[in-house]
Amino acid sequence: MADPLERVASAPHREVLHRIRELYGSVLRSSDLQEGPRSVPGFRSQRGIYKPEGSNYALWVRQTGRGAYPDREPETYPDGSWTYRYSPEARAGTIDLGLATNRALRHCQEDRVPIGVFRQVEAGREGPRYEVLGLAYVERFDGTHFVLRGEPIDWTREPDPEPLLPKFEPFDSNFGPLEEVVRIRRRQRFATVLRRLYHEKCSLCSVGYRLRGESLGLEAAHIIPVERRGNLADVRNGLLLCRNHHALFDSFGWTLDEDLRVVLSQDREFRRTAEANHIVGWEGQRLPNLPTREDDFPALPAIRWRLTEFEKAEPQGPARS
């Protein structure tokens, strides 16, 4: 499927949307978005909904920490898409869909033109920081909010319908034709979605660090590795792990069973050297940090594949010393 941005007629508008897509998941200072290579038109002066002069379409929306409108937390889905309810602008405290900015969002809905979405995450000494939620489509107006639906990890696809939990496909059918730059971006988006779903903490040890607005020390672990054609567009093929427990996971020092309990290798040398590691205390126990919704948990087909590979890597006969 072709990139939907190619349907946007205005080249300058399309160029900015591409830039916002590339910033997906970033946390940036307001000043970075006002000037420099990552700047976005209108960010210096406009809050709320930004409609470029002379355009029928909105270019982006942003929520500020002190915003007057009751915006809600985004809800994320296994394909990486998300729903975000954004309040329309009001006049004298009353929603007025006749305002030019609100009409511009309506035009985006009618013509399927995406918008950028920015959300303030903190106000530091150097000014507010914004998370770039990425590009979204205006799905509808529900009477109180515009319902925005974010691009999935594979942005060439339509997001899965909200009530529908799609069947999990363990392997990526498009593995071969993908360009390397596209694969890299999908990896980045996959990791960003996992950080959101796993509350920015390792699923095993629950450790997570933040420094100057950035999440540190966490990595996206693929249950079926990308090198084995594991699905890179569905987060049910992933876990969020700290670097330590990711390295042990990739080396089959541990895995998880169908009840999401920790299974350790019986290799004696590993068990001896891992005594000081947090992982030993969790043997046989369920992963302590999981997504809020069970729909986002690791998929059984991926777990079963991993268990089979784990058993192949295990010592045969008496445990190795």
pLDDT mean for each 10 residues of the chain (321 residues) = 88 96 93 94 93 96 72 86 92 89 97 96 80 96 94 91 88 70 89 95 92 83 95 96 96 97 94 86 95 96 98 71 41
SS3 73: coil
pLDDT at 66: 65
pLDDT at 35: 93
Domain extents in the chain? 4-150, 180-313
- Supply the DSSP symbol for 7: G
Q: What are the tokens at 320? A: 């190795």
Q: Which residues pair with 26 in a beta bridge?
A: none
Residues 6+ apart with CB under 8 A from 147: 83, 84, 85, 138, 139, 140, 141
Give the CA-trace dihedral at 137, 140, 145, 149, to 10 degrees: -30
pLDDT at 67: 58
CATH tag, 4-150? 2.30.280
pLDDT at 318: 47
Cβ atoms of 182 and 19 closer than 8 Å: no
pLDDT at 321: 41
SS3 211: strand
pLDDT at 178: 63
pLDDT at 193: 96
pLDDT at 109: 97
Q: What are the tokens at 123? A: 């106000």
Instruction: Using alpha carbons, select from 242, 157, 252, 174 the residue that is nearest to residue 203.
Output: 242
pLDDT at 14: 97
pTM of the full structure = 0.90
